[in-house]
Chain A
């Protein structure tokens, strides 16, 4: 994802001279290094100082530039949170906050580097748009969208590296719309972000058990496609929400929507636990520790427990 972001940003920066990148002591990998070489004046490394990273981005946006701030999700969002809220959201400036390794992707670095609450948090801030790409292709199309949008601040919740392509044959990405990634009539998994890979693997495993499982991605968490999700609720009797997030984000929204639409089927939510885990390993290991793997989800879907 990082590489695809870098390529898309670099390409956009050739056409759009208003693009700026402000990083906080993170190495500009791949094409970001090319961006820095080509237009050093539009690349600022503030060092380990995230509040001024946001402040500078706000100031640049106020004078007509289109800045992206870029670092690990915990540092682009949590450390300067009040600056994101006041400088970017209150003033409604078109700045993209890129959070690398959203969720628990930095699996060996401990909870200081885990952005579990990022999506839930950003969904509550007025004016904030929340995008969470599920694969490098979504990263590409969203990055280019962010490079030109004038709605206001965006939180772009990214993974890291090595994510597979999942949307090659899907309908084109549209801002604010859900995406049907896999067909199925018995069960529907609603998901977003890097964990979509796990959702699809779970759907394939369920299919082997005779449960035809659809997968729907929600790449735009805010504004949420309530109409699209309403159609999912009216089309399926058995739905799961799978998210790599604290249990207060999409799952809660879909539950609320189900309540409002008098959904009578079965709705299960799968998320990170409401805990800081003191364990290490691969990304999959940490997800498993949070109860997020194919076996656990499949078992709950099959047994309903």
Chain B
């Protein structure tokens, strides 16, 4: 992978690859992956060291339905093969619509929401016991913050002083059914709630790598950290942005051409 690529170039490439895979299956989670593309790109290409090896830093896609972005990055890093991705959700393939623990580069089975952060807390505590330098990164959906288990995990992470955890909330304000701000207005404000759980937390534009970097730089190194990243579901393809059907649907060939054209012309 050309390391000199900017986030912008890489993310455009990832989105195109996801659209390409979408032409082989009737349904996949495009919009949830486009929503956190810049975040996951930043984690893999700038934050993690040794993401390829067992003793290296760890990333868990707690919002398991966003895993297409993780798959295409793992493909680019050589942990998954193009054949693995071509066989996505097909008989004989190893990759499904949610990450499966044991597959290359997949550090937890997620898909059921509200599990990822808890398992990260256990893993991060284990590495703290070993006095290792391993860092843990996790992407949560905003819907996951509706799960009580996420708040149990937030509380324990701070109580165990797990300064080796960095969490990103992909705050696209959408759940499957409706906007968070409509369905559960009391969800907001998020930053204040998480801050009250003794996390170092701030907000950022979730599609701007430099904003994400600045947000991270503003956080404490001495406690678990969270960036509440303001994102747009389906980001990058105008007719997908904020339109609920793209949570699941694959574009038809005409829509695919339009989407590719849009991504290409934004270059």
Contact = CB atoms under 8 A, between A and B. Distances in A.
A91 B100 CA distance: 8
Contact of B118 (A42, A51, A65, A90): A51
Main secondary structure of the interface of A (DSSP, over half): helix
B118 A58 contact: yes
Given A57-B122, A58-B122, 19 more contacts: A49-B152, A49-B156, A51-B118, A51-B148, A51-B149, A52-B121, A52-B156, A55-B115, A56-B122, A59-B120, A60-B123, A60-B126, A62-B119, A62-B123, A65-B129, A82-B112, A83-B115, A90-B109, A91-B109
Contact of B153 (A52, A62, A63, A82): A52
Interface string B150-165: 0011011000100000
B124 interface: yes
A275 interface: no
9 contacts: A42-B129, A58-B119, A59-B120, A59-B126, A61-B122, A63-B130, A65-B126, A91-B102, A91-B109
Interface in B81-120: 101-102, 107-109, 112, 114-115, 117-120
A107 B155 CA distance: 33
Contacts of B119: 55, 58-59, 62, 87
Given A55-B122, A60-B123, A49 B109 contact: no
A46 B120 CA distance: 15
Interface of A: 41-42, 44, 46, 49, 51-52, 54-65, 67, 82-83, 86-87, 90-91
Nearest to A65: B126
Contacts of A91: 101-102, 108-109
A55 B126 contact: no
B127 interface: yes
Interface residues of B, number: 28
B256 interface: no
Nearest to A80: B149
A52 B160 CA distance: 12
Interface string B118-150: 111111111101100000000000000000110
A151 B8 CA distance: 45
A61 B107 CA distance: 12
Contact of A56 (B108, B114, B118): B118
Main secondary structure of the interface of B (DSSP, over half): helix
Given A46-B152, A49-B155, A83 B123 contact: no
B163 to A, nearest CB: 16
Contacts of B101: 62, 90-91
A51 B126 contact: no
A55 B153 contact: yes
Contact of A60 (B125, B155, B156): B125
Nearest to A22: B122
A90 B129 CA distance: 26
B96 to A, nearest CB: 12
Contacts of B153: 52, 55
Nearest to A59: B122
Contacts of A42: 129
A57 B119 CA distance: 8
Contact of B115 (A41, A63, A64, A87): A87
Given A52-B121, A55-B122, A90-B109, A63 B127 contact: yes
Nearest to B119: A59
Contacts of A56: 118, 121-122, 125, 156
Contact of A59 (B112, B114, B121): B121
A52 B126 CA distance: 15
B89 to A, nearest CB: 18
Contacts of A67: 122
A9 to B, nearest CB: 18
B124 A59 contact: yes
A54 B109 contact: no
* Most chain B Cβ neighbours within 10 Å, of A57, A60, A61: A60
Contacts of B156: 46, 49, 52, 56
Contacts of A55: 115, 117-119, 121-122, 149, 152-153
A59 B126 CA distance: 8
A61 B155 CA distance: 21
Contacts of B114: 51
A87 B102 CA distance: 13
For the complex of A and B, 4 pairs with smallest distance between CB atoms = A59-B122, A55-B118, A63-B126, A52-B152
A87 B129 contact: no
Nearest to B111: A86
Contacts of B160: 44
Contacts of B129: 41-42, 65
A54 B118 CA distance: 8
B98 to A, nearest CB: 10
B126 A86 contact: no
A87 B117 CA distance: 12
B115 A86 contact: yes
